[in-house]
Amino acid sequence: MSGYGNERRKVLVLGAKKSGKTSSLKAVFEGMTPKDTIWLETTQQIVKTDFDSILPLELWDTPGSFDLDSITWEEFSTVVYMLDVSQDTHHPISKIVPTFILAYAQNPSINFEVFIHKADHWDADWQDEDFREITGRVMDEIADFSDWASLADTHPNVRFNVDADAWLETLTTEKIRFWLTSIHNYTIYEAWSKVIQRLMEDIYGTIEGLLNTFGQQSSMHKSFLFDINAKLYVAMDINSVESSTFQLCSDYLGRMMVFQSLFDNVPEARKQARSEKAKREGKRDPTQDEDDDEDPEEREWPANVARLGENTSICYWQFTKRLALMSVVSSDVLNQQQGMIEFNVALLRKAILQILEAIGQ
């Protein structure tokens, strides 16, 4: 778990004009409602936004057309490419191919995530087939790429691998992933969740292992570690459930965050009242020496349970300012084993805080 430090992982978001780059970033990382994205103005220059998730991120929103040769690919961990399916996809695909090849030649550790976006335009019955068709086309065009002479001509400083076929094979099979996305449903959150999970590298496996053990010991159906600000899951256990489970947890989290935000000012108001009281009584201000960044292990974080239907409950335990555990469990198990579950949650929280500390978060 070395090498994480506090360095921000840079994520470059590319795609044609109006393909949904700004909308997707605003919806997920700034909580903009999807319908408000129609008012977004055209992005004129690169906009960088810091977002502190389980790892600190720097998200680069870009205009539809700008000089890609101005990009230093070595700086980036990930490229997210938005491919808008409400428009013709041939031209964007023909741009993806040389972009990925050039980026990968200059940074072999970079990852590519293609969001096949605005999927709400597609007929739900044909979505899977349409998705496969586009994915296949991108992969084939990369695998069949042969115009090395003109790439070398326009980029004399870039060294391309001599064994082009094997190199392209690794690029397509190991580096590029595809996600079907729309800002009008949970798919955009799921795709961004996967992007972040890949950036976590080896800590993902460690956290997944902890969630698996927790799930087995506590008889949970499914557990997610959520980034509560972006409503993304940064990790989950391996139990398989329908994808609607993520949606359920995400909706519940959304409702809870709205309610919680109503109380955001309470700690500050309480602090102010204590400070004023001390002043009136001529005593020293006790709040002066207090640290706002309390130790997450000492602090009491919110927790709650909601019952869904017959015999299913969603549990929420907040671990830090940014992270919360959400689990789906049978209500009977929850009632019968509450003490043990709370005990296991405390152990899991401790282990996760230790991992965060080890990576400097």
Ligand X SMILES: Nc1nc2c(ncn2[C@@H]2O[C@H](COP(=O)(O)OP(=O)(O)O)[C@@H](O)[C@H]2O)c(=O)[nH]1
Q: Closest separation between CB of residue 47 and ligand X, Å?
A: 10
Residues 257-316 that bind Mg ion (CB under 5 A): none
Structural element, H or E, at residue 148: helix 148-154
Instruction: Determine the interface stretch with Mg ion among 37-45, 149-157, 260-268, 351-359 (rule: CB under 5 A).
Output: 37-45
Interface residue with ligand X among 38, 124, 162, 266 (CB under 6 A) is 38
Instruction: Determine the interface stretch with ligand X among 116-124, 220-228, 284-292, 350-358 (rule: CB under 6 A).
Output: 116-124
Nearer to Mg ion, 21 or 322 (CB): 21
Q: 23 touches which of Mg ion, ligand X, none (CB within 5 to 8 A by kind)? A: ligand X
131: left (phi over 0), alpha (psi -120 to 50) or beta: alpha
By CB under 6 A, tell whether 127 contacts ligand X.
Answer: no
Instruction: Determine the interface stretch with ligand X among 117-125, 133-141, 236-244, 311-319 (rule: CB under 6 A).
Output: 117-125
Number of CB atoms found within 10 A of residue 110's CB: 19
Is residue 323 within 8 A of residue 52, CB to CB? The reply is no
What token pair was written down for 196? 């972040």
Is residue 1 within 8 A of residue 361, CB to CB? The reply is no
Instruction: Determine the interface stretch with ligand X among 114-122, 151-159, 259-267, 321-329 (rule: CB under 6 A).
Output: 114-122
Interface residue with Mg ion among 22, 78, 111, 361 (CB under 5 A) is 22
Task: Compute how many residues bind Mg ion; rule: CB under 5 A.
Answer: 3
By CB under 6 A, tell whether 111 contacts ligand X.
Answer: no
Is residue 55 within 8 A of residue 195, CB to CB? The reply is no
201: left (phi over 0), alpha (psi -120 to 50) or beta: left
Interface residue with ligand X among 4, 9, 11, 21 (CB under 6 A) is 21
The whole-angstrom distance between residue 167's C-alpha and the CA centroid of its chain comes to 28
Structural element, H or E, at residue 14: strand 9-15
Is residue 97 within 8 A of residue 141, CB to CB? The reply is yes
Q: Closest separation between CB of residue 26 and Mg ion, Å?
A: 9
Cα distance between residue 221 and residue 328, in whole Å? 5
What token pair was written down for 229? 């600000």
Residues 137-196 that bind ligand X (CB under 6 A): 182-184
By CB under 6 A, tell whether 37 contacts ligand X.
Answer: yes
- What residue ranges bind ligand X (CB under 6 A)? 15, 17-23, 37-38, 40, 43, 64, 117-118, 120-121, 182-184
- What residue ranges bind Mg ion (CB under 5 A)? 21-22, 43
